[in-house]
Structure 1
Amino acid sequence: MQPEPDVASPVSADPELADLAWRVREGVGRLNWRMRAERDPNGPGPAVLAVLSRLYRAGTHTPTELAEAERLQPQSLTRILAWVTERGLVTRSPDPEDGRRSLVSITPDGLAVLREYSVRRERWLAGAIEATLSPTERQLLKLASDLMLRVADA
């Protein structure tokens, strides 16, 4: 059986650029998947970690803003907020501009949970880099990571 022809428009007229885009996407995706596997199976799930990370990086949000930013259904976010509030990982306070809304902020305990998750992933990554890359390859990876940050910020 013949595979379906690719009907999507080409990524780039430059085949080398198209190949590079694929390699970067594939590498980032696989690395992200592998690093997520490093979370504690008894700890918070990916959606909880995403909410804590959003609150850490972007500051206080209303529940509606959080749901939109994380592309969560309001019902799912309600369960997540109940779970993290019960464990003291976030606080909810009335919005001074609109008392019908609440503001959600990460707590020091929430930061500790997030940091523990980050340290676990970084520890795995440092070990994988040490075990698989030569010193020269490590320098190349450092350069590549700086370039990826520039591209991400573009």
Structure 2
Amino acid sequence: MTDTISIAALVAEDLRSLASKLKRKLRAQGHPGNLTASQASVLVRLEKDGQMTTSALARAEGMRPQSMGALIASLEASGLVVGMPDPSDGRQTILSLTEDCRAMIAEGRAARQDWLTRRIDATLSAEEQAQVHAAIVLLQRLVEED
């Protein structure tokens, strides 16, 4: 009996590897400073989902509240996150991004976009760019919710 690898399995392996490499390249272009992956993830979550409590962030990130508390403390010390008392429950603190953090995120995103645009333009012909765009449309179907 011979083992055969399906085309789908090969595509999945190549795609996963490529996505990982692209993520590393983009991360390097965004000038993330000394942020850990967990810190960056929390900042992106606060940017996309808005203000939250430490416990809500911990649930959303799959972390223990104590671990999230330490992570938030370091982000507050860096001036990236600020906490304000919850107006409906003074025992809770609502966390949000500082304006400096929002600017840092926007600058990093712009740097990554600029780098990728320049690489695409310098490396791929117009026809190849159209092919990549067509492939992206197909790849988006893979991540759409059922």
Query: TM-score, structure 1 length as denominator?
Result: 0.75
Q: 1:72 to 1:125 in 2, by over 3 A?
A: farther
**Aligned-pair identity (%):** 33
- Number of the residue aligned with 2:100: 109
Q: Tell me the residue number matched to 1:4.
A: none
| Native 8 Å contact 2:81 2:98 kept in 1 | yes
Contact persistence 1:35–1:121 (CA under 8 A): yes
Give the C-alpha shift of residue 56 in structure 1. 0.9
Deviation readout 1:113-147 (Å, 9 max, x if unpaired): 11111122222212222222111111122222233
CA contact (8 A) 2:32 2:108 kept: no
Separation in structure 2 between the aligned mates of residue 64 and residue 143 of structure 1, nearest angstrom = 41
* Distance in 2 (alpha carbons) for counterparts of 1:55 and 1:25: 26
- The number of equivalent residue pairs is 143
CA-atom RMSD, angstroms?
A: 2.7
Task: Determine the C-alpha separation between the residues in 2 that align with 1:150 and 1:92.
Answer: 38
Instruction: Tell me which moved more, 130-139 or 82-91.
Output: 82-91
Query: What SS class does the counterpart of residue 37 from structure 1 fall into?
Result: helix
Amino acid at match of 1:137: E
> In the TM superposition, what are the counterparts of 1:88-107 in structure 2 within 5 Å?
88-107=79-98
Contact map agreement 1:49 1:114 (CA 8 A) in 2 = no
Aligned with residue 145 of structure 1, among 105, 111, 136 = 136
Gaps of 5+ in 1: 1-9
